[in-house]
Structure 1
Amino acid sequence: MAGRAAEPEVIWARPERAGRGPRPAYSRADIAAAAVRIADADGIDAVSMRRVAGELGCGTMSLYNYVPRKEDLYELMVDAVSGEYELSEAAVGGDWYAGMLGLGRQTRDILRRHPWLTRVMSTGHAFSPNALRYLEHCLGVLDGLAAPQGTKMELIAMVNGTAMTAVAHEIAMAERARGLPWSEEQEQRVRSAYLHGQLADGAYPRLARVMAEGPAPGDPDESYERALRRLLDSFRREPAP
């Protein structure tokens, strides 16, 4: 039918090379690695088909023969960095709590190494080769958790979401600090003084009690560890299927 959009295509269903003809000059791994280097150095907004082609030393239109859409390029990038997980077979079928705790720490480390990931991650990227490998491993780690399979998938998603939220907050705070004409310490002193002034008249008694006890430790590593453990603790109480 005229004007009808083409059917969507999954990049992984597209052969990387034809059965015949010359060997392609670049692999998907080459293209993904070039794009990741650009994003790590200059941010995701710097990643364009032209910039990646320049990094590889080929023409922009030639790159479209390998990667039809920019969305496909993002998917290649996400898959490439998803390959950084160390998926130990020793964790499969063992202590699920310790296994997921370790994976949650790895997820945060990967997101910190590649801050642009928080901008491009989507559920559509959950079925790339390395993502499938990761999901299969997580489910193996969770063999010891007496819960429905759907609940296990929710747990995996929540661990990833916790890491994404924590790192996105760190990135936002760092960007904000870079834009201040004074130090972060000066900013916090002024805001703390204002807050204590607001609490002094008794309008917010619960908040006043919190501040009187002292704020929670602000170390981001400790905060993330607490959040991850509290999440996993909640699944220990899940009813068996």
Structure 2
Amino acid sequence: MSGVSTEDNGDGDPRRAIELLWGVPGPPRRGPKPKLTTADVVGAAIALADADTIDAVTIRRVAEQLGVSPMSLYTYVPGRAELLDLMIDHAHGELPVPDPALGWRAALTAIAEDQWALFHRHPWLLQVTTSRSALGPHSFAKYERELRAVEGIGLDDVEMDAAVALVTGLVRTTARSSLDAARLVRTSGLTDAQWWERAAPVLAGIPAAAAEHYPLASRVGQAAGEAHNAAEDPAYTFRFGLARVLDGIETLITARSQRASERQE
């Protein structure tokens, strides 16, 4: 998100992260029975990130939330990088399973809408790159459901992966814009409509000159602004873009099916 740091993930110990994600027991522990569970640590970290940003998630602050010493947290997670992997996988576990009776378009639409909502519940997910995150069971299940939506519709395996990536990439990009807009309202104390109202006297003399030199930008910008009551509407862009992506996939598989039928005649 603009103005908020984004960090790469995946620089921890992938072996230990995967063991934690899949419940593989670590080395035997000596001493008294642990007071917490790994799930407690993950829950506290997510609460911190939800309330602030991913920058708020440090071993020290998570320990403070749980009322334990920072050193004791290393009993549960090797470090912050592995904790981020656990947080991402836990969040993916919130995604519902689409109705198996849905057709592929409806299934991908439901998946996209659910992910849009997930990003708005947990904005910090947009602050962490996930291409090198250790895949846990919930992240695998997420990908499995996405692929299942396009299984058997006429795409090969590589195209299935690309189709899913197009949809999820669109969700991620437009959700980021949506959250940026919401953050700007919070930090400025003004809605877009209020900001434009304040700027109107200054801009009053500009439209005529702008229309002459930039006729398309003036016309389309005015139409969009009036439609959205703002410079942009990320939710509209998300749903418009999703429909166009699905149209493109449908065009591909329809054309492919028609060519196959012609060859058989």
Q: Which range, TM-score by smaller chain?
A: 0.7 to 0.9
Structure 1 match to 2:19? 13
Indicate how the Cα distance of structure 1 residues 197 and 155 shifts in structure 2: closer, same or farther if over 3 A, else same.
same
Aligned to 1:237, the other structure's residue is in SS state helix
- Contact persistence 1:79–1:129 (CA under 8 A): yes
Aligned to 2:183, the other structure's residue is in SS state helix
Aligned to 2:213, the other structure's residue is in SS state coil
Structure 1 match to 2:165? 157
> Whole-Å Cα distance in 2 between the matches of residues 237 and 180 of structure 1?
44
Whether 2:96 is the aligned partner of 1:86: answer yes
- Contact persistence 1:162–1:228 (CA under 8 A): yes
Structure with higher RCO (Cα < 8 A, 6+ apart)? 2
Q: Deviations over 1:25-84 (max 9, x none)?
A: 433322211111111122222111011122223221121232112111111111111000
> Whole-Å Cα distance in 2 between the matches of residues 38 and 238 of structure 1?
44
TM (norm. structure 2) is 0.76
Relative to structure 2, which stretch is displaced further, 40-49 or 183-192? 183-192
Runs of 5+ unmatched residues, structure 1 = 1-5
Indicate how the Cα distance of structure 1 residues 42 and 149 shifts in structure 2: closer, same or farther if over 3 A, else same.
same
Structure 1 match to 2:238? 224
Q: Give, as a single letter, the amino acid of the residue that structure 1 aligns with 2:124.
A: W
- Contact persistence 1:67–1:73 (CA under 8 A): yes
Indicate how the Cα distance of structure 1 residues 7 and 143 shifts in structure 2: closer, same or farther if over 3 A, else same.
closer
Identical-pair percentage: 29
> Whole-Å Cα distance in 2 between the matches of residues 199 and 206 of structure 1?
10
> Whole-Å Cα distance in 1 between the matches of residues 163 and 205 of structure 2?
40
Q: 1:104-123 to 2 correspondence within 5 Å?
A: 104-123=112-131
How far the C-alpha of 1:233 sits from its partner, in A, is: 1.3
> Whole-Å Cα distance in 1 between the matches of residues 224 and 178 of structure 2?
18
Q: Deviations over 1:68-110 (max 9, x none)?
A: 121111111111110001114625xx51111010000000000
Structure 2 match to 1:168? 176
Q: Deviations over 1:168-201 (max 9, x none)?
A: 112222222334375532422426647624423x
> Whole-Å Cα distance in 1 between the matches of residues 145 and 35 of structure 2?
33
- Contact persistence 2:178–2:235 (CA under 8 A): no
